[in-house]
A and B are shown apart, each in its own frame.
Chain A
Amino acid sequence: METSETGPRVSAQEAAASLAAVHDSRRRARRAGYPVWFWLVTGLGLAAVPLYIAKTWLPDPWGQVIPLASVMLLAVTAIAIPLGALRGVRGCPPTSAGVLREVSVFLWPFVPYVAVLLAGGITWQNGSWDAPLAPLATAAAAFAAWAGFGMAATTFSARR
């Protein structure tokens, strides 16, 4: 690409104002990318996982209700992501750096989520909690970890 060397074409003040506009646009864009409902709905779907795992431990009618509820919540989760496209935003940038950034934003909340699942599983296996309570408590904690961390990460990205 042919270039010219004419030195700075704008003042420091104008450049600072332009950078502020860039940051403002990124903040708006981040909010548009992952709204609160996204984290809440996917959190509900992921919270169903420990309940689903525990279904064989629980007596009927829980053994019937929980698998059904889990399937419904996971279905909602699966639908939630393509719903984003209906809002006019696709989180799949064509650039490799953009893809990595989007993937990292989406993957980070899995860290506390998996930690909660592991902690719940260990406590559960040690028999520290009653069988019916342990998966429910783990599900609630998993939801809080996923949705809380996701929303916090989104807010942080918006302020970056």
Chain B
Amino acid sequence: MSTRSGEHANQVGADGFNPVIHAPVRLRLCATLDALGEVEFGRMLELLEISKSALSKNVATLVEAGYIAQRRAVRDTRQRLWLHLTPDGYTAYRKHVAALQAIVNPR
């Protein structure tokens, strides 16, 4: 595991709260990938309604943390970048959402 990934792991709370995922764009990105599976980069731009540079930056952060994986494949006869959650990313996202729910509705 890279040093940066280790740093991200250290930031995760015992309740599953994950500061890396919690950033607004990254949270919406993970929610979209969780719902759809694999999404092409251009399609993700439309769904999130953000700039290309903002999406690139946030994708890079999640890739670095090991939460998102990228794959190049053809769409409309051109090579495109496809994004999907890794198993670690899926688990981290689910735990983070559970942590948010616990904050909103404490027992």
Contacts and interface: CB of A to CB of B under 8 A. Distances in A.
Contacts of B27: 18, 21-22, 25
B103 A22 contact: no
A8 B17 contact: yes
A28 interface: yes
A143 B104 CA distance: 43
A5 B43 contact: no
Nearest to B82: A90
Contact of B43 (A10, A89, A95): A89
Interface string B21-51: 0101001100110111111101110111000
Contacts of B32: 25-26, 28-29
B19 A9 contact: yes
Contact of B103 (A5, A8, A24, A30): A8
B104 A3 contact: no
B104 A26 contact: no
Interface in B48-81: 48, 69, 75-76, 80
B75 A88 contact: yes
Given A12-B104, A32-B36, A95-B90, A2 B10 contact: yes
A85 interface: yes
Given A25-B28, A26-B31, A93-B84, A19 B36 contact: no
A25 B75 contact: no
Contacts of A86: 75-76
Given A5-B13, A22-B97, A33-B36, A94 B19 contact: no
Interface in A29-48: 29-30, 32-33
A32 B87 contact: no
Contacts of B15: 8
Given A3-B14, A12-B103, A91 B76 contact: no
22 contacts: A3-B14, A4-B12, A6-B13, A7-B13, A8-B103, A10-B100, A15-B103, A18-B24, A19-B101, A22-B28, A26-B34, A29-B32, A29-B47, A32-B36, A32-B47, A33-B36, A88-B44, A93-B85, A94-B69, A94-B86, A95-B90, A97-B90
